[in-house]
Structure 1
Amino acid sequence: MVPAMCGRRCHDHMVHPLSGAAGVYAGCCGPAEYSAYAVFVCGCCGGRAGGHRHRHHQQEPDGASPRRRRARPCYCRNALFRHVCRGNSGMYAVEFGEHMAWSLPTIALSLLLGIAFGTLSLQCLLRSTNRHREFLATVLFVAAIAGLHFIGVSAMRTHMMSAELMATGNAPVVLGVALAITTLLLVATGGNSFSIDDATRAESYERMRQMALHDALTSLPNRVSFNDHLDQVIEDAKEKGTQFALIGIDLNKFKEINDVRGHAAGDVVLVTIASRFTEMLGEGEFVARLGGDEFAAVHLTSDPDELKAFVARIEEAINLPIPIEDYEVTTGGSVGLALFPKDATDKETLVTRADLAMYRAKADPLRTVAYYEPAMDETVREARALAADLKTAMEKGELSLHYQVQTAIATGEVFGYEALLRWTSPERGDVPPARFIPVAEENGLIIPLGEWVLQTACAQAAKWEVPFKLAVNLSPVQFFHPDLYRLVKETLEKTGLAPARLELELTETSIIDDKQRALEIVRRIKELGVSIALDDFGTGYSSIDTLRSFPFDRIKLDGSFMQGIETNSDAAAIVRSVLALGRTMNIAVLAEGIETPRQLEVLRGEGCVAGQGFLIGRPACAETLGLQPA
């Protein structure tokens, strides 16, 4: 029971504006019985508690004339409104005796804007890669709140209405619509959040899957993905009776590029080649990076012509020059193929035999592609065993140096010796350099091997009684190694050998791939006072431009030109031309491979300055040659 004051002497009703429920007066100006609803309407005047201000009928106390009685306001909005508003929320808290109406299209618009801007805010925060994404998400979220609130407020309309109109029952409809809209908003927001969360989970899962199955640097499938793919291909081939080729790919000069140019340049090479592989792939073709500079490919066809075309595309991808900053590098590569089911019917054997074919191509300077052959198994096993034995020989001191004399052809005077590496194995006997040097290059042993040769030869030559010139060969890998300059400089300082006594011999293949870099290395070494000789001239890619560009001190004519020089006029003409070229360019020429007196006589007659060969002297250790310490 709450007192509600009314000045009418009648038993009217207080009508609730939403439900239509009424409380009945117990007596004039007495307490009104009513149900505990939010707002009541005065039945005598139509005014609602908390509604508009109005003047009521005059109150007539007992025994008083109506003309003497003062008019006073209805108290409906005083005690009753203050009590009811404490229990209200939202827009209904601002009702002051007016009827509220809602524009449903405007409400729908506010909801749509709120959901739209809220969704954009979450999308911007979760998916955008823009560095300002947090600021943009905040702006969109504020727009969502502002749109929902202010447009929602504009949907409210207020109208004056009487108690009779309020009693018609339209107020419950408004409440129902409000509840429905609120429920719709909650459901839509929850559904949108669930959708975004589900999409985010799917995106995260896909990102993790991408990281697990793809190489981080090149984005190519990695070894795990390759194994899964190969398992599936083998299973399908067995079921359908089809054939396919497994192709192993190894970059020939990747380690050299890493050593000389740095790992950043190596990464550029890998990314560029991987991009080329991706662009060239067609239907039924697959390429993965297994690690380092090794790749593997699968080609699903039994057509030999299609397979050859695919291999040709691989060769093109690895042989094209790769620009790195202001220079270009070329890696080249070796490709080995094994066929299913011809060469193997299980994954492990197939992979092994593709590797064997690849290593055969790598060991053969005349070809870059090799198909698996049964004889390769034994050849590769022997090469691997030889590499292991060579490493052991370096550790146990089984290597030694022999020296071959170099003389002036006109007088026979000795002016120098070339240091030659020898390996005498307790199990294998004397292993020729032509056999173990390529193995050392393929297995990363050539750098420590070359350092040992240079340091040992300089140390021995520094002790000779006669200061003969010392010639030492450099492999292509050793020549481009970034520590070569430091090695030569420190070796000369440590051993005490005069720089003018040392001559470093380069092969033509050492300089042809990167002439600019090779020229820089040659110039730096010559600054130390060391001589540079071009070895095996005439067997590679040398040109007059190369001789003109590089400051060579000597040309060493390859021994193959000595064959038939006595009787073959063409061979003699070639030797004569090289000697004339040397005189013209002021570069001394040394002829290698002199084995007969007639060859020596022809060279002397053509004006050759220096010679070296079995006729002049066979390689031997320093003690045998009488190169005694001073």
Structure 2
Amino acid sequence: MSPGRKDLSLSRILRIVMRGEMRQHSLRAKPEVPPRFSFSPQARRDSVGFLLLGLCLTASLLWLDSFDWFVGFAMTHEHWELDELATALCVMGGLGYVFAWRRIAELRGEILRREQAEGEARHLASHDALTGLPNRRSLSAHFDALSASRRQSDFYLTILDLDGFKAINDLHGHATGDALLLEVSRRLELCFGADFVCRLAGDEFAVIVSSAESEAAARSLIERAAAALQQPMQVEGRALQVSATFGVAVWPADGQQLSLLLRRADLALYQGKNLNRSSVRFFSAELDQQIEARSRVEAAVREGLSHGRLSVHFQPIVELASGRIAGFEAMARLHDPELGSVAPESLIAAAERAGLIVQVAEQLLERACHAAAAWPDELFLSFNLSPMQLRDRLLVERLLRVLERSGLAPTRLELEVTEMAILLDADEAEQTFTRLRALGMRVSVDDFGAGYSSLGRLQGFRFDKLKIDPAFTQAIGQPGRGEDILESLLGLARGLNSDALAEGVETSAQAHWLMQRGCRYGQGYFFGEVLPEEAVLPMLREQTQAADGAWQREAS
């Protein structure tokens, strides 16, 4: 047990749990408030000292016959009224002694209450106010003491974060959320026993597992705790269920400083959240390298955004029936002095993680629109919107500003969105698409068929184009039912009154198969590679009427 909870034994906790009282108890150990008028040993010694002093003075006066002398003096000086004055002084002295006794008791009580308040402040400084568990400051002190005493054996720093807690907190309120955290802390203490359990913040807890003799034993203990947290919890009459993801770092193998171990346990937790929630993930050097690589890409994106290193390349989109270029898709590129060329997928993912996707996309769109404005008027520009952009309430205004600055007509801009991005907030997406189409812009669905769309939900939208995922295009001519699925997707596009565009076309046979089945557009390396901005206009000038339809002749 951690400091401050020694008076609550495990048997006591179990008895409280069995009676269902744990939710009304905080695990803090509060010092008792002393009585208002308390007499400590020191106060009693002071009182006895004053009494003895008074008795000594009285005995001295009696030994010196001071009383007889005073009586004689008072009788010879009757007009001074010394006897009345002496009586008054005796009464006042007695009352003063009573007052002093009372005041001493009050002062003692005030001192004890101040010490109680200071002890309470120290307790609050090292413990969580809600659960009574130790906090981050106590974690640091416990870690220092444990690492100093364990020179040979390992221990395991574990960080856990609750999955689904925010939804419960938002749905049922903060009081229910607090009660749930109390129940979680109770289960953690019961599962980890004598190991150190603390609350870091919110729904994040930390455990130092020092009782396990091996990594396998530590994993087994943590997995049992994870299973215990997954069991339904009765909170304020409701059966609530959460789970937890655990990230683990090993001392001293993964680091000897608390800050480093916390960071690495947090990295393992982050990976567990992304890959498989409700899991136990140990830190690994490979994970550190991956995170470091991602951090370098994010830094490169920031530098590229501020220093103008972002560029746009273009891939032609061809009308299959005529063989003519109908437009180009803009593709993001970044060349970093240290990292070299950054893959587009890594670039966009890093921009989203860093919260820079809106700025990055706006800069790329501006460059793409300026380039497209110099193309023939019949060519359109296709540009991808990320899910975060689609949720941007100022998206339409941003697009209009870019189009105005570049001089590109709205009717020449086509915006691509993925199925999943649409369904994240279908109502908001529908309103945005309606505004965009009213301004003359076109909307297409990217990687159609690759997601888990609800066709019933998508039929309520109006799309200008469905871009079929390259995986289906590659199924042409291959064994299996890939061609049947692709043909169904083309039929679905016709049913939605949308043009179909097949991505990933690499052979003339694929292009011919698609054209015969009514696919209007094709895109892929068969029609042209991704070109830098300066290479687009020369390629368009070289395209002649004689060259149009060259791929059809090749296929025939």
2:502 to 566, 574, 591: 591
Alignment of 1:195-274 (within 5 A): 195-196=109-110, 198-199=112-113, 202-203=116-117, 206-207=120-121, 210=124, 224-235=137-148, 238=150, 241=153, 243-247=155-159
Tell me the equivalent position of 1:474: 385
2:522 paired with 1:611: yes
Q: Distance in 1 between matches of 2:179 and 2:435?
A: 36
- Find the aligned partners of 1:305 and 1:203 in 2 and give their Cα distance: 42
Structure 2 Cα separation of the partners of residues 477 and 629 of structure 1: 34
Residue equivalent to 1:306: 221
Assess, with a 3 A threshold, how the Cα gap between structure 1 residues 558 and 197 changes in structure 2: closer, same or farther: farther
Correspondence list, 1:386-535, <5 A: 386-535=297-446
**SS of equivalent to 2:531:** coil
Partner of 2:9: none
Q: Which residue of 2 aligns with 1:111?
A: none
Report how many residues are paired: 444
Paired residue type of 2:291: V
Q: 2:554 maps to what in 1?
A: none
What TM-score, normalized by structure 2, do the two folds share? 0.64
CA contact (8 A) 1:280 1:313 kept: no
Q: CA deviation at 1:452?
A: 1.0
AA aligned to 1:580 is: G
**1:427-464 deviations in Å (ceiling 9; x for gaps):** 54433213333333333443332221112112222232
One-letter code aligned to 1:195 = G
Q: CA deviation digits over 1:475-504, x for unaligned, max 9?
A: 233333454343223212322322222222
CA distance in 2, matches of 1:360, 1:478: 25
- CA change 1:479–1:206 in 2 (3 A) is farther
Residue type of the partner of 1:567? Q
1:126-141 matched pairs, under 5 angstroms: none
Task: Quote how far apart the aligned CAs of 1:179 are.
Answer: 4.7
Distance 1:400 1:311 in 2: 47
- Check whether the contact 1:463–1:629 (CA below 8 A) recurs between aligned residues: no
Q: Deviations over 1:402-435 (max 9, x none)?
A: 1112233333343322100122345544332133
Which string of whole-angstrom CA distances, capped at 9 and with x for unpartnered residues, describes residues 197-231 of structure 1?
Answer: 64256436634763x55799999976545433433
CA distance in 2, matches of 1:364, 1:299: 24
Residues 450 and 600 (structure 1), Cα distance of their counterparts in 2 relative to 1, 3 Å cut: same
Aligned ranges 1:13-52 → 2 under 5 Å: 36-38=82-84
1:380 aligns with 2:291: yes
Residue matched to 1:280: 184
Structure 1 pair 312/441, CA: closer, same or farther in 2 (3 Å)? farther
Shift of 1:474: 2.0
Work out the CA distance in 2 between the residues paired with 1:440 and 1:375. 23
Give the C-alpha shift of residue 620 in structure 1. 0.9
What is the letter of the counterpart of residue 407 of structure 1?
V
Distance 1:478 1:391 in 2: 18
Distance (whole Å) between structure 2 residues aligned to residue 287 and residue 551 of structure 1: 53
1:553 aligns with 2:464: yes
Alignment of 1:191 with 2:191, yes or no, is no
1:297 counterpart residue number: 206
Give me the whole-angstrom Cα distance separating, in 2, the residues matched to 1:416 and 1:616: 12
- Looking at structure 1, the residues matched to 509 and 323 of structure 2 have their Cα atoms a distance apart, in angstroms, of 15
Q: Which residue of the other structure, out of 540, 547, 559, is the alignment partner of 2:451?
A: 540
Distance in 1 (CA, whole Å) between partners of 2:79 and 2:450 is 121
C-alpha contact (below 8 Å) 1:246/1:350 kept by paired residues: no
For residues 175 and 440 of structure 2, what CA distance do their matches in structure 1 show?
Answer: 41
Equivalent pair of 1:343/1:353 in contact (CA under 8 Å): yes
Question: Is this contact kept in 2: 1:402–1:619, CA < 8 A?
Answer: yes
**Structure label with greater radius of gyration:** 1
Decide which of 482, 487, 498 is 1:576's aligned counterpart: 487
Structure 1 residues 563-611: Cα deviation after superposition (integer angstroms, max 9, x where no partner): 2222334112222222222222333332211112222233223322322
Q: 1:239 to 1:393 in 2, by over 3 A?
A: closer
240 and 432 in structure 1: CA distance in 2 versus 1, 3 angstrom threshold = closer
Q: Kindly tell me: are residues 557 and 565 of structure 1, through their superposed partners in 2, closer, same or farther at Cα, counting changes over 3 Å? A: same
Letter in 1 for 2:223: K
What do the CA deviations read for 1:216-261 (whole angstroms, capped 9, x no partner)? Answer: 999997654543343345456x279463243376999x9xx9xxxx
Q: 1:398 touches 1:424 (CA, 8 Å); kept in 2?
A: yes
CA distance in 2, matches of 1:279, 1:305: 22
Cα displacement string for residues 518-567 of structure 1 (whole angstroms, at most 9, x for unaligned residues): 44544454454433322222222321133134444332221112222223
In structure 2, distance between residues paired with 1:216 and 1:358: 25
1:470 partner letter: L
Question: Would you say the 8 A contact 1:23–1:33 is kept in 2?
Answer: no
Q: What SS does structure 2 have at the residue aligned with 1:410?
A: coil
Given residue 298 of structure 1, which amino acid in structure 2 is its aligned partner?
V
Give SS of 2:452's match: coil
User: By how many angstroms is 1:506 displaced?
Assistant: 1.9
Distance of aligned partners of 1:465 and 1:408 in 2 relative to their CA distance in 1, 3 Å threshold: closer
Quickly say closer, same or farther: Cα 1:25–1:447, change in 2 above 3 A. closer
User: Structure 2 CA distance, aligned partners of 1:25 and 1:362?
Assistant: 100
Q: 1:426, 1:233 → 2: CA distance?
A: 45
Q: Cα 1:436–1:196, aligned 2, differ >3 Å: closer, same or farther?
A: same
- After TM superposition, give the deviation of residue 385 of structure 1 in Å: 3.1
Q: Partners of 2:272 and 2:289 in 1: how far apart?
A: 15
- Residue 38 of structure 2 aligns with which residue? none
Letter in 2 for 1:603: L
CA distance in 2, matches of 1:536, 1:333: 33
**Structure 2 CA distance for partners of 1:623 and 1:195, relative to 1, 3 Å:** same
Q: Compared with structure 1, are the counterparts of its residues 32 and 295 closer, same or farther at alpha carbon in structure 2 (3 Å cutoff)?
A: closer
Question: Identity over the aligned pairs, expressed in percent?
Answer: 29
Give me the whole-angstrom Cα distance separating, in 2, the residues matched to 1:391 and 1:546: 37
1:406–1:610 CA contact under 8 A, matched in 2 = yes
Between 490-499 and 270-279, report the one with greater CA deviation. 270-279
Shift of residue 470, structure 1, vs aligned partner: 1.4
Pair 208,389 (structure 1): closer, same or farther in 2 beyond 3 Å: same
Mark the runs of 5 or more structure 1 residues left unpaired by the alignment: 1-20, 39-83, 90-171, 258-264, 318-331
Kindly tell me: are residues 521 and 183 of structure 1, through their superposed partners in 2, closer, same or farther at Cα, counting changes over 3 Å? farther
